[in-house]
Amino acid sequence: MVALLALIASVIAALYARSVSRNTDLMHLHEYLMTRDVQAGRRELHRVFNSGADWAKTKKRHPEQFDAINHAVSAYQRLAQYTRLGYVPKKRAVRLWGSRLVASWPAIESFVASRRETENYPKSSQSLVWFARECGAPVSLID
């Protein structure tokens, strides 16, 4: 009987530790997504997309700007991948970043589609496409 109680207590402690760890990981990702560099990349993403500029030309003419945009999209990709793999709680990730991702999705999708076309961009964006769908974005990319 004592062994059974000890086993139950161990399982409860392990589940609690996992939950805390997942939430801590989400908060670290949130802090990363809120850094100046990533925020600047998101602003550039929208500015370039709204101007109608070509992504490939932006990469050639303004490589620093392109790198900032790529950094921001990669940050969303990291959040998506960690969520898809279960490292962070999906409901909380969607609640925290879903509306921002949905609002940015047309620009992100355009950027990813261009990279896939012009650079044989790997399908590493599969998690990002999945997360966008989970958030309710109108996704047309095939993952």
Using DSSP, state whether 35 is helix, strand or coil: coil
3-class SS shares of the chain: helix, strand, coil, % to 5: 85, 0, 15
CA distance 81 to 34: 18
- 2-11, 28-37, 38-47, 101-110: which has the minimum mean pLDDT? 2-11
Are 75 and 33 within 8 A, CB to CB? yes
Grade residue 119 by pLDDT with cuts at 50, 70 and 90: confident
CA distance 32 to 98: 16
| Residue 125 DSSP one-character state | G
Rounded mean pLDDT of 114-141?
A: 86
For residue 45, what are its two tokens? 């993403």
pTM: predicted TM-score of the whole model, two decimal places: 0.82
- H/E stretch holding 21 reads helix 2-33
For residue 116, what are its two tokens? 């896939």
Of 53, 124, 135, 132, nearest to 94 (Cα)? 135
For residue 105, what are its two tokens? 């999705």
- In single-letter form, the type of residue at position 126 comes to Q
What are the extents of the domains in the chain? 21-135
Q: Tell me the HSE value of 56 on the side-chain side, using a 13 A CA sphere.
A: 9
At 13-57, the pLDDT tens digits run: 555 556 556 678 899 999 999 999 999 999 999 999 999 988 989
